[in-house]
A and B are shown apart, each in its own frame.
Chain A
Amino acid sequence: MIKTFKRGGVHPPENKISRNAALEQLVPEGIIRIFTSQHIGAPAECIVAKGDKVKVGQLIAKANGFVSANVHSSVSGTVLGVENVADYQGIKKPAICIQVEGDEWEESIDRSPDINRDLSKTTEEILAKIAEAGLVGLGGATFPTHVKLAVPKGKTAKAIIINGAECEPYLTSDHRIMLEKGEELLIGVQLLKKAVNVDKAYIGIETNKQDAIDNLVKLAVNYSGIEIVSLKPKYPQGGEKQLIKSITGLEVPDRALPVETGCIVSNICTTFAVYEAVQKNKPLFENSITVTGKNLKVQKNFIVRIGTPLSKLIEAIGGMPENTGKIISGGPMMGRAISNMDAPTLKGSGAVLFITGEEAKRGTKSNCIRCSKCVAACPMGLQPFLLYRLAELNMFEELKEISVHACIECGCCLYTCPANLPLVDYIRLGKTRAMKLIVKPK
């Protein structure tokens, strides 16, 4: 049975044009710059100094507190120092700069191509490895994984849900992992199950990736307690709340954590990284990045060392195409526009998308015709047209009253709006202001 969530959502053209491009290693060279903050929480603390020699996988910045994550060197070479480096959006943040020299890995990392099927590690050992490897949620939120897996006291997890929806148009890196690293992924799932003490795991995959479903169904025969769930393609199915709803039929209560439904959600790339961290002793220093766009000559799914400048990726696909109108980090629905081509990649970078000037241009806004398409499209049961209007009028108290906090900023309302109103933009603004009212009541 093909499942999906019922309320709202849209289905933009999928444009998964890079789906057949096998994962490809991008060789690091030149200077690599690694941010000390690539996660939600406190920035990691740098533990190397200028002139130090580092190896691939060596810890270079230590997690600072519980909600924080370790950062490892993605290359071998000499540390040039800590500098303020502009990120994708041009905001300067401290980064450790390393001159690449050769490719010498830490001896503790198991580099053999064999799959390690040994599942004898205890829950504590698994969690410790995950924390040590600096894993963060690679679906975009970059929340430290070891924190996410720590089930709050008084709550119990019943199942792990692996998010293979990849509902954003264009993106294909999860798809490639499911196809090429299927067994590693399933071992990762078993490790996650053990980490949170559950016997059941679901992998939700949209049916536009039937080959990935078939591959995992075939492999899952050898692993107990893993169910592959076919999902009807619909955006934002990869949203944590929507995915739980699609697979289990349960709704995460308003203002509560997903664990309230007994589910803990993990992304495909994160799960693969769990396998590598626990079974191969390999910290998170590289990730898969889809480089795609209708006007590109080649479509690529790269494995990229964290800290590689974006310009290297652009070079690798043969330079920026003529008619590029916008470059996006992530998918076209929730990704962020990139303004700085020299910015280094992050742990959470999943895609670089080129869209043409025509695609990128927003239509001129006109009067709201109250067509109610935004209300029908909102997966959270909000009334975007009303939130928009209230935000426009600076009526933040009223916004708070009608649950603006529940907005997940998925963009379905703006996508569907015939009047081209900047709905999400204003709702985002209104949400920030209304949240301040919630946090600091007068």
Chain B
Amino acid sequence: MNKEYSVRLVKKEVLGDTCAVLTFSCPEIAEAAKPGQFVNLSCAYFLKRPFGIMCVDKESKTFSVGVRKVGKGTEKIIAAKEGEEFTVLGPLGNGFSFDGVKKLLLIGGGTGIFPIFFATKFAKENGISCQVVNGYRCKNDALLYDQFSCACEQFHVTTDAGDLGVKGNVMAYLETMGDEELADTTCMVVGPGIMMRKVSEWALSKGLTCYVSLEQRMACGIGACLVCVCKIKAEQEGKEFVHKRCCKDGPVFKAEEVIW
């Protein structure tokens, strides 16, 4: 039986002006979580807030999430002090499937880099060949740069400002990749909708398998309330789309199924 866990914030690392990595003590989530899954975390307001899991540490029995201040709820969560108690549901959602994956190309942007970090570590620990391409606004925005550099030998960066890595968005790097390099590659993308859409179109045009992790405003996070649906291509003839639950059926979907 799943539970709502009471968890303690054991560590908070502030990243820049608007982000923080929060680490919570919770043996069950540390043990069970897979890359691409999320937790629903209490805040000072009514509903919980969903965050992609950034990493787990099975030895210290902790999990971490990256949070960007986007509203009042995330502002309160970031303002929390070490030692504070939260309640949490998780791990939630389907997560990425690594079955049969030969080569990985992980692409992150915005707060999507946090779940991409979990996938990056998973690939390293499981000996899966992996490249990471993260898109940032500028050098100062390059969150987890050192951590990614340690976790992945082929870590590439693009910045809109051009002050770090390739100038432009992630497409500026992806379009330089040759077909030979891309052969047998599986893409996993987490980031703003427009980025995931552009990367999906590119990946599918190259014949690559591509997964995206969708985001919607959520309530329960467990599939009961149907507020977080996204449009997925219908299999039934004569029907354009079906509404699937981002929290329960996703958040990870095959790129070719998504109606953007």
A and B pair up:
no
Interface residues of B (CB under 8 A from A): none
Residues of A within 8 A of B (CB): none
